[in-house]
């Protein structure tokens, strides 16, 4: 049963009927509304002298009491709680606004059973912001259940590990008043947008496995479960198939708005941010009654404003395969390539696959490094390092190097996966960037901003420095004894590989959000090229760190590559377009071609790479075939000289979850490429018509 049944008892305190009083006792949690039981007594005196017998009186009283009980049930409050979202701690007014919300919620003196915080708890996902948010939320007198949003995950310096350490988890579930509450994480590590990871969907399954299909469910997540906000929202309804959902609560849009989600029209509710900005700060009071759920905005010092209500009975979810999404991958371009093999690691992957002779090396968020057969896709070995493996492994000769969010840096034998040595940096210093080799040393940076150079064979420290202000997530370039990488502080750094000293520090826009931090910098003929989210490409003198030129004509974001002969830049734009730019003369860039590929709006930091040649700073080889992955789960192959689309293929095709960011791919040769998406699906794709 959804709610407790109301019970009614009738008392006649004077059976001689000199006066009659009725008392109705209703079993409920709270009673709200305009109905006043105390009025019954005085109105009932009109019956004095009218009723001829006590039996008639009792019958009338019982009937009236039953009628009253039915009326009362429509107004019976079963549960009331507070709902906050998009608190954005780190934004100028956010701390003040959140403190006001918590103080206001505390003024309800226990009427609110708990508080939900549905994502974007912080502005930049920095550890300091998360600590402050946790401190303020801890002032609540009732339990607080929080999940991350994209602002908490996109720029996370810990690889998203700090949030669960502070809040207990990145997801949660509990039961209250017979209702199952499920709070899910829809943020993506080091990516924008929304996506349910394999780990999150397994968690959902584990909760549903102990939940009866008749139990009403309320879900909270940050992103609306629909495109473009959440690319695999259809998967949510597949897992909820057969369950009854009262509503799905989301944030992200900073506005009070109602939706219907999924094929069955599950009620969806988006609510305002707590931020005041140009108006009053506020949050939401959710009141669940026996017949309805009421959503009211609450501004501190003001009365609640009811803006929406839905029926409380919920919707039984019945999910079917998303045929439209499957069929759109079945086109002539997709038929020009085939999947040779597909291996599902069932864990989040944010780094790129690395080709190591007959193996493909991949690091995953389950803490394992995998050695996968290049010819058949079988897992030859897997080695547990710990934490999350966030960055791309580095292969140098017979060794593979990886860092983890546990602060462990390890060297593995490439053939067996055996750990040859490992160094524990510090538990509070996650490693999310990619290591790079330089002669006899391996260089990597941790979230404490310390760049370390270790002996490749022994692991002994050669030097350590602290060159950057912001954290580093990229795969750096090394050229002319310089380690070159962008950081989340608006700057690009040139650091000596010999001593760790900063040689130069470059910026044209020091705004945090426009940092050259996610793209893999590429270097050629004394020039380093980067793209930034202010939609510009910049050419920087590798010796002096001075700007040579800068352009916004390509609508660039965070994806750039270069041919091995150093003559052509390839830039994947924010909307559909790939651009080839001649930099044969580094001071006079010239657009060679632009082609619309139809991949839509795409912020994925997936670099364009070429088929032939060795792995350079950005995995760029000789001109042959240009490959790149997309946010929509596709791998594209283009003619790098003219821009013709040779083929495209979905990594996860044949599934309603086909859309999952594809990381920077690893070409094997002109006709083959290895790709891994963020769901941990690794494939070898063969082009059939690129001769």
User: Which residue do the tokens 């009283």 mark?
Assistant: 61
DSSP 615-654: --TT---EEEEEEEE-TTSEEEEE-TTT--EEEEEETTTT
The H or E element spanning position 591 is strand 590-601
300 in Cβ contact with 281 (< 8 Å): yes
Comparing CA positions, the residue from 319, 169, 147, 195 lying closest to residue 245 is 319
Higher per-residue confidence, 35 vs 402 = 402
Residue 208: CB atoms within 10 Å: 20
**pLDDT band at residue 59 under the 50/70/90 scheme:** low
For residue 8, the model assigns a pLDDT of 33
Cβ proximity of 307 and 282 under 8 Å: no
For 462-490, what is each residue's pLDDT tens digit? 999 999 999 999 999 999 999 999 999 99
- Count other Cβ atoms within 10 Å, centred on residue 42: 9
Give the pLDDT band (50/70/90) at residue 316.
very high
Query: What is the pLDDT at residue 278?
Result: 77
45, two tokens: 């005196």
Average pLDDT over residues 200-220: 98
Mean pLDDT, the chain, integer: 88
Are 259 and 70 spatial neighbours (Cβ–Cβ below 8 Å)? Answer: no
Q: Are 364 and 345 in contact, with CB atoms under 8 Å apart?
A: yes
**pLDDT value at position 73?**
52
Mean pLDDT score, 613-618: 39
pLDDT at 425: 86
Which 8-state DSSP code applies to residue 663?
A: P
How many residues does this entry show for the chain?
691
Q: What is the pLDDT of residue 615?
A: 40
The proportion of the chain whose per-residue pLDDT surpasses 90, expressed as a percent, equals 79
Task: Read off the pLDDT of each residue in 76-101 and give the average, rounded to a whole number.
Answer: 97
Average of per-residue pLDDT across 158-180: 98
| Confidence check: pLDDT of 32 > 70 | no
Given a contact cutoff of 8 angstroms between Cβ atoms, the answer to whether 524 and 568 are in contact is no
For residue 618, pLDDT beyond 80: no
Please calculate the CA angle 280-282-286 and round it to the nearest 5 degrees: 150
Instruction: Say whether pLDDT at 238 is over 90.
Output: yes
Please state the pTM of the whole predicted model.
0.87
Q: In whole angstroms, what is the distance from residue 655 CA to residue 677 CA? A: 14
Predicted pLDDT at 13: 33
529 Cβ partners below 8 Å, 6+ apart?
Answer: 521, 522, 523, 537, 538, 539, 540, 560, 562, 569, 583
The strand pair at 590-601 and 575-582 is best described as antiparallel
Model confidence over 354-372: pLDDT tens digits? 999 999 999 999 999 999 9
Q: Pick the residue with more confidence: 106 or 21? A: 106
**What pLDDT is recorded for position 83?**
99
- pLDDT for 3 equals 37
Q: Which pLDDT does position 688 carry in this prediction?
A: 86
Tell me the pLDDT band of 64, cut-offs 50, 70 and 90. Answer: low
Six token digits for residue 242: 């057969």
Give the model's pLDDT for residue 29: 35
Q: Lowest-confidence range among 136-150, 319-333, 652-666, 673-687? A: 319-333
Tell me the pLDDT tens digit for each residue of 48-58.
Answer: 444 455 556 55
Structure tokens that stand for 399 in this block: 């060794």
Given a cut of 70, whether residue 121 has pLDDT beyond it is yes
What is the per-residue pLDDT for 321?
55
The residue ranges of DSSP E strands in 419-574, in sequence order, are: 419-424, 436-438, 441-445, 451-455, 461-465, 477-479, 482-487, 491-496, 502-506, 522-524, 527-532, 536-541, 547-551, 556-562, 568-573
Whole-number Å distance between alpha carbons of 424 and 404: 10
Indicate if the pLDDT at residue 331 is higher than 70.
yes
**663 near 628, Cβ under 8 Å?**
no
Residue 567 has pLDDT above 50, yes or no: yes
Q: What pLDDT was estimated at residue 427?
A: 72
Distance, in Å, from the CA atom of 15 to the CA atom of 194, rounded to the nearest integer, reads: 68
CA 232/CA 614 separation, integer angstroms: 35
* C-alpha dist (Å) from residue 243 to 218, 319, 442, 616, 618: 11, 10, 52, 50, 46
Q: Which pLDDT score, from 0 to 100, does residue 622 have?
A: 44
Closest CA to 264 of 232, 237, 293: 237
Beta strands in 200-291 (DSSP E): 217-220, 244-250, 257-261, 266-270, 283-289
Any idea what DSSP says for residue 294?
A: E
Report pLDDT for 652.
Answer: 87
Residue 324 pLDDT level (bands cut at 50, 70, 90): very low
Q: Output phi, psi for 390, to 5 deg.
A: -95, -45
């Amino acid at each position: 049963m959804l709610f407790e049944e109301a019970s009614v008892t009738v008392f006649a305190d004077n059976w001689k009927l000199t006066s009659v009083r009725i008392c109705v006792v209703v079993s409920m949690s709270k009673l709200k509304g305009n109905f006043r039981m105390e009025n019954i007594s005085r109105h009932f005196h009109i019956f004095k002298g009218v009723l001829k017998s006590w039996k008639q009186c009792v019958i009338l009283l019982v009937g009236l009491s039953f009628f009253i009980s039915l009326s009362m049930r429509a107004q019976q409050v079963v549960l009331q709680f507070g709902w906050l979202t998009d608190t954005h701690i780190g934004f100028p007014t956010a701390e003040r606004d959140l403190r006001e919300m918590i103080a206001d919620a505390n003024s309800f003196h226990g009427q609110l059973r708990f508080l939900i915080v549905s994502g974007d708890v912080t502005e930049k996902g920095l550890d300091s912001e998360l600590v402050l948010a946790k401190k303020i939320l801890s002032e609540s007198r009732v339990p607080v259940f929080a999940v991350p949003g994209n602002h908490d995950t996109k720029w996370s310096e810990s690889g998203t590990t700090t949030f669960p350490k502070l809040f207990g988890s990145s997801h949660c579930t509990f039961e209250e008043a017979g209702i199952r509450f499920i709070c899910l994480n829809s943020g993506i590590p080091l990516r924008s947008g929304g996506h349910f990871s394999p780990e999150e969907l397994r968690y959902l399954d584990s909760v549903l496995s102990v939940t009866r299909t008749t139990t009403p469910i309320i879900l909270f997540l940050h992103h609306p479960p629909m495109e473009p906000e959440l690319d695999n929202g259809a998967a949510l309804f597949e897992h909820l198939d057969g369950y009854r959902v009262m509503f799905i609560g989301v944030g992200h849009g900073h506005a009070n708005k109602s939706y219907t989600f999924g094929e069955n029209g599950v009620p969806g509710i988006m609510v305002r941010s707590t931020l005041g900005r140009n108006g009053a700060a506020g949050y939401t009071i959710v009141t669940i009654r026996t017949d309805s759920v009421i959503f009211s905005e609450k501004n501190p010092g003001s009365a609640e404003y009811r803006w929406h209500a839905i029926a409380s009975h919920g919707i039984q979810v019945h999910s079917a395969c998303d045929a439209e999404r499957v069929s759109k991958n079945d086109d002539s371009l997709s038929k020009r390539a085939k999947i040779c093999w597909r291996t599902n690691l069932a864990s989040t992957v944010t780094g790129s696959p690395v080709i190591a002779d007959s193996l493909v090396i991949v690091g995953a968020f389950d803490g394992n490094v995998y050695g996968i057969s290049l010819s058949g896709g079988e897992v030859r070995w897997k080695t547990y390092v710990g934490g999350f493996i966030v960055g791309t492994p580095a292969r140098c000769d017979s060794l593979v190097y990886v860092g983890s969010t546990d602060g462990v840096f390890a060297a593995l034998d490439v053939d067996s996966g055996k750990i040859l040595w490992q160094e524990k940096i510090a538990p509070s210093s996650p490693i999310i960037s990619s290591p790079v080799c330089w002669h006899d040393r391996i260089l990597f940076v941790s979230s404490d901003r310390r760049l370390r150079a270790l002996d490749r064979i022994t692991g002994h420290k050669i030097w350590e420095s602290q060159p950057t202000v912001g954290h580093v997530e990229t795969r750096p370039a090394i050229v002319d004894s310089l380690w070159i990488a962008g950081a989340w502080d608006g700057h690009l750094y040139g650091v000596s590989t010999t001593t760790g000293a900063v040689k130069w520090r470059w910026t044209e826009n020091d705004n945090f959000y426009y940092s050259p931090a996610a793209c893999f910098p590429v270097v050629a003929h004394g020039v380093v090229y980067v793209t930034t989210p202010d939609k510009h490409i910049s050419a920087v003198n590798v010796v002096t760190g001075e700007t040579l030129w800068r352009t916004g004509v390509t609508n660039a974001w965070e994806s750039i590559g270069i041919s091995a002969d150093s003559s052509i830049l390839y830039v994947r734009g924010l909307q559909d377009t790939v651009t080839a730019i001649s930099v044969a003369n580094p001071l006079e860039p010239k657009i060679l071609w632009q082609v619309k590929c139809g991949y839509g709006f795409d912020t994925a930091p997936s670099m364009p790479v070429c088929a032939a040649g060795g792995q350079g700073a950005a995995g760029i080889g000789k001109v042959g075939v240009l490959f790149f992955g997309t946010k929509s789960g596709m791998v594209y192959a283009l003619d790098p000289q003219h821009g013709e689309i040779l083929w495209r293929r979905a990594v996860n095709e044949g599934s309603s979850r086909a859309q999952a960011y594809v990381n920077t791919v690893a070409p094997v040769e002109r006709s083959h490429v290895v790709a891994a998406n963020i769901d941990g699906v690794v494939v070898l794709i063969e082009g059939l018509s690129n001769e």
